[in-house]
Structure 1
Amino acid sequence: MLVLGISAFYHDSAAALIRDGEIVAAAQEERFTRKKHDPDFPAHAIAYCLKEAKIDAAAIDRVVFYEKPFLKFERLVETYLAFAPNGFASFRKSMPLWIGEKLFQRDLLLRELKAIDPALGDKTKLRFCEHHFSHAASAYYPSPFQSALVLTMDGVGEWATTSAAIGEGADLRITREIHFPHSLGLLYSAFTYYTGFKVNSGEYKVMGLAPYGEPRFAKLIFEHLIDVKDDGSFRLNQDYFGYCTGLTMTNARFDAIFGGPPRRASEPLEQRHMDLAASVQAVTEEVVLRLTRALASESGLRNLCLAGGVALNCVANGKILRDGKFDEIFVQPAAGDAGGALGAALAVYFQENQGAAIKNAKRPDAMHGAYLGPSYAQSEIEDRLKAAGAVFTVVDDAQLIEKTAAALAAGQAVGWHQGRMEFGPRALGNRSILGDPRSPTMQKALNLKVKYRESFRPFAPSVLREKVADWFELDADSPYMLLVAPVKGERCRKMSEAELALFGIDKLNVQRSDIPAVTHVDYSARVQTVHPETNPRYHELITRFEALTGCPVLINTSFNVRGEPIVNTPEDAFRCFMGSEIEYLAVGNCVLQKERQDPALKLDYKNAFELD
């Protein structure tokens, strides 16, 4: 049975294809259109999925949308009525759009599907899955568990903002929910907005900024904004928020208790903003830990699956693991709305094939390392690079590893474009910019000269799975860069009294460990374990780097600049290479040095994309 899953019309549109319960392909639309967080119908991603599966549209048995538009419309109307007359202007503006387009999303979907191929637009094949069930299915069915507790947390789906489910064999059922407007995701987004970052894309910046501050506002948040019970259930005080009436995330009462209006994106970050980030991060961690402790005690289950946008908070995930209430945790790498496409397809497959056994009793999981996107044959890479004007050398596999490891050991920034593109927001060693983590200047240099982004942003380490416990306080699989762990104590350097007295961004340039470029200011790191089973080439590169340097760790950041989607094609990689200060590029077995390229092809990527 072939099932096509779709998420669209909000943000991070995507498509995923399932064959008899096995994941064949999945990709976000942004990677094809080059429009970050593209919300439009994922026509390009669907076409890719069909091509990857080597099928035509007529072979698809079911097409599944990741949420139920009528329930979402019901929530919108009931919310406006509950808060009337506040928000009438927003209501009047949005209602025609909803009635004319989104309420009748079934017809819109069928039109878009027919535009790709009439066979896809067969209305008897179309199904809808509730938003949080799509999230839960995306985490549980690919996990390595035969039974697990599943916790999903995000902004909002139709009504649910938080849900708990139990997975047993092929059966998955939601057991409880917290409903809008009470949302941990929206609380975090409110502080994202208030600290001057974009909602639905800047939340990870708040998480990265948090260690520079002190959680001195946490008590205020608990006193005024959120009422949390011992079991983790919570309610938000709507007197301080504006999102129900569609105006702004926060309001004047929020401004009054936190010391002023929201920061504009162009304004400098102050210590207060860092303290706000630290505070909402601390509150989020406390709520999540209360939820997981209560659910572990109630269910007796020792495996946990996580999905939804809040599950991308890898600091909280690391604390759940260290809390010890669960033996193992699996986080869906595309935990946000993109992953809803995958979950919707899996949900319908197992609903309509009740006797099907789940095919996830393998290690590390059934996501294939999240390498589910397009790949390019060597001959095609060469043709595409030639057409782009690139100057390159073709090398064999051994030379590729040797030359790239040597470039890294020499302190060069390396673009690494190999195999199938990753699904989800993280580059995991196939569409990555790599660097030497031992360099005390690499973190700042990559941020300012390659990524063109804020200097405070941390980078993640990729480490050989077999060596992770030698360098980090972690001895578990973390293939998707979704667990934060402390750097091993013996690898750390004690700070001086003068260094300890530093505040905020001044802490950035202090060398804290043997791998300073991936050690955050609180001595933590967002760890990716690299496995030979899922990515043998990347594993071999790190192994060779270790032979040269004694260090089995590389900096791994996504292959893009600020505001740009992660690169997809060889041409995307070459453009980013020519538009940034990356010095060395490996695309398949093609090796490129910056100094050998035509200077006329240099691009201004620093100003090519809007702030993310």
Structure 2
Amino acid sequence: MYILGISAFYHDSAACLIHHDEVIAAAQEERFSRIKNDAAFPAEAIKYCLREAGITLADIEHVVFYEKPFLKFERLLESYVATAPFGLRSFLKAIPLWLREKLFQKRLINRELNNIDAAWPKRNHKLLFTGHHQSHAASGYYPSPFEKALILTIDGVGEWTTTSAWIGAGNTLSMVSDMPFPHSLGLLYSAFTQYLGFKVNSDEYKVMGLAPYGQPRFAELILREIVDLKPNGSFQLNMCYFDFMGGLSMINKHFIKLFGKPARLPDAEIDEFYMDVAASIQSVTERILITMVTFLSEKHQLTDLCLAGGVALNCVANGKLLKHTPIKRLWVQPAAGDAGGALGAAFAARYLHLKFTRQAKEGDSMKQSLLGPAWSTAEVEDALRAEALSYHILVDDEFLQAVANYINDGKVVGWFSGRMEFGPRALGARSILGDCRGADMQRHINMKVKFRESFRPFAPAILEEHAAQYYDIAQSSPYMLIVADLLQEYQRASNADVKGFEKLKDISSPFPAVTHVDSTSRLQTIGPANGKFYQLLRAFYQLTGCPAIVNTSFNVKDQPIVCSPADAIDCFLKTDIDVLAIENIIVLKQH
């Protein structure tokens, strides 16, 4: 039985195809359209999923959309009424689109599916809808390795819900608590994202990366004036500081007056004040999550936790949950944001609507999240010849040894291998790789390859058998969603006189290119299940004695991760990547 899950029309549209309890394929629309966080109907992602399975839409038992449009429309209307007459501009901008298209999404989706396959009826009973947070909860629990677990879903807002807690057992999902709009941790974090001059629903991870450069000196102010945190982890926002209920901005003049400085302009200098603001909201976020998870774990006597929703991508907070709550095992959906809602919607239909039996799988059932398209060597050669590029084809061992040698020589390598990742992280299929021992490698890749802010940290891909030798971590982190502390023996006392971005020059670590200024790293642990990427790390370790390399996404600032060989070649030619290693083919930069 095939079930197709879809997320669309807000941001990060995606499609996912499951067959019985197996994930066959999943991909975000942005990878095909090349529009970052594309919100359009995921037509190309759906076509890919069908091609991967070798089927047509006629073979699909159900198509499932990841949220319920009428409930979302109800929330928008009630929000506008509650804030009237303020928010008129936002109302006049949003409502015509809803009345023209979004309110009639069943008709819209069936029409789009008919455009893909004319045999699909424009009115079709196979189309189902799940709740937004139900989709997140299903994406967090059903692919996880747990037979029974606590599930927490946290994002900006779904229909009405901003946070929900569930218990998953067998094939069932039972909600045990939730928090309603407008009291939202995701929206709170996004408000600070805007204040710091970054893009909402896109750049929240920059706030997380900026936080260690500052001090959380505004944390108590936030908890006193903006957030009323309860002992059970629930909270209320003081809405006098926000404009998102009815306006076109996240924050208002009262928010700005509270902090005493105007919102930072995009691309303006980031001074210590804004670093301290980032540190403060990150600290508050961690405190809220620790309080919430501790209460839920103790109340329900569960120590296995699944996370989903956009806030679950805050890997710094995830690491703190393992250290400061009763949770013993943590599993985070690798596509935790709205893209993962497509996967959750498909699983919700299978287990909650059709009530099939679920059997948890060892590790998980995400296939290392390598669920996107792959290309053959012949197809890669065609793409290289189209650009008149010289190349060399090597057998596996020679290829891996050559790449390991290039990394050891300080070269930056564009790595393209097998099926593309599903979710926002490059996990060793569409990656830029470098030597993590080089003190200048972090700045070089940021400035000359990725063309992005110099403060942004990189993650180490590290052989799983060596992770605990260097980091304080007691479980695997295959999806780069847990931050861990470097062991004390590898740290040195930080110089209190060093401030701001100067801290980048004061890092002490065996792996300076992937150690953040607070002596942490966002780990990706690599084992045999990672196939050729694991073999590359083994070859590098045997060559150097170093079990880790820099692994960052194969893209440049504001562009989606590369999908096809043509995308990879284009990125290679337009950046300072030295070597393109693509399906056993080596391409060197011709200067």
TM band (smaller chain):
over 0.9
Matched, 1:568 2:563: yes
1-side partners of 2:588 and 2:510: how far apart? 28
Match of 2:498 in 1: 502
SS of 1:556's equivalent in the other structure is strand
Question: Could you tell me how far 1:22 is from its partner in structure 2?
Answer: 1.1
Amino acid at match of 2:546: C
Change (3 A) 1:386 1:50: same
Count matched residues: 590
Equivalent residue runs for 1:222-237 within 5 Å = 222-237=223-238
Equivalent residue runs for 1:336-351 within 5 Å = 336-351=337-352
Contact preservation (8 Å) 2:86, 2:247:
no
SS of 2:371's equivalent in the other structure is coil
1-side partners of 2:492 and 2:541: how far apart? 21
Contact preservation (8 Å) 2:156, 2:184:
yes
Amino acid at match of 1:513: S
2-side partners of 1:412 and 1:490: how far apart? 29
**Which consecutive unaligned segments of at least 5 residues does structure 1 have?**
600-612
Measured against aligned partners, the alpha-carbon deviations of 1:160-206 in whole angstroms (never above 9, x if no partner) come to 00000110011112221101000000000000000000001110000
Match of 2:22 in 1: 22
Contact preservation (8 Å) 2:485, 2:519:
yes
Matched, 1:522 2:521: no
Contact preservation (8 Å) 2:171, 2:358:
yes
Question: Could you tell me how far 1:514 is from its partner in structure 2?
Answer: 1.1
Higher deviation after alignment, 375-384 or 195-204:
375-384
Amino acid at match of 1:413: V
Match of 2:477 in 1: 478
Equivalent residue runs for 1:16-415 within 5 Å = 16-121=16-121, 123-354=124-355, 356-362=356-362, 364-415=363-414
Change (3 A) 1:304 1:119: farther
Question: Could you tell me how far 1:119 is from its partner in structure 2?
Answer: 3.8
Match of 2:415 in 1: 416
2-side partners of 1:544 and 1:120: how far apart? 50
2-side partners of 1:214 and 1:592: how far apart? 45
Equivalent residue runs for 1:549-568 within 5 Å = 549-568=544-563
Amino acid at match of 1:359: Q
Contact preservation (8 Å) 1:148, 1:167:
yes
Question: Could you tell me how far 1:388 is from its partner in structure 2?
Answer: 2.8
Question: Could you tell me how far 1:494 is from its partner in structure 2?
Answer: 4.2
Question: Could you tell me how far 1:266 is from its partner in structure 2?
Answer: 2.7
Amino acid at match of 1:336: G
Match of 2:434 in 1: 435
Percent identity among equivalent residues? 53
Matched, 1:459 2:454: no
Measured against aligned partners, the alpha-carbon deviations of 1:116-163 in whole angstroms (never above 9, x if no partner) come to 013444511100010000000001000000000000000000000000
Measured against aligned partners, the alpha-carbon deviations of 1:88-126 in whole angstroms (never above 9, x if no partner) come to 222123211111111111111111111001344451110
2-side partners of 1:215 and 1:79: how far apart? 32
2-side partners of 1:324 and 1:296: how far apart? 8
1-side partners of 2:221 and 2:141: how far apart? 36
Question: Could you tell me how far 1:581 is from its partner in structure 2?
Answer: 0.2
Match of 1:602 in 2: none
SS of 1:500's equivalent in the other structure is coil
2-side partners of 1:238 and 1:323: how far apart? 30
Measured against aligned partners, the alpha-carbon deviations of 1:371-411 in whole angstroms (never above 9, x if no partner) come to 00001112222222222322110000001100000000011
Change (3 A) 1:174 1:119: farther
Question: Could you tell me how far 1:324 is from its partner in structure 2?
Answer: 4.4
Measured against aligned partners, the alpha-carbon deviations of 1:211-239 in whole angstroms (never above 9, x if no partner) come to 00000111110111110100100110110
Amino acid at match of 2:544: T
SS of 1:85's equivalent in the other structure is coil
TM-score (norm 1): 0.95
Question: Could you tell me how far 1:472 is from its partner in structure 2?
Answer: 0.9
Amino acid at match of 2:571: C
RMSD over aligned Cα atoms: 1.1
**Which consecutive unaligned segments of at least 5 residues does structure 2 have?**
none
SS of 2:125's equivalent in the other structure is helix
Question: Could you tell me how far 1:251 is from its partner in structure 2?
Answer: 0.4
Amino acid at match of 2:477: S
Question: Could you tell me how far 1:207 is from its partner in structure 2?
Answer: 0.1
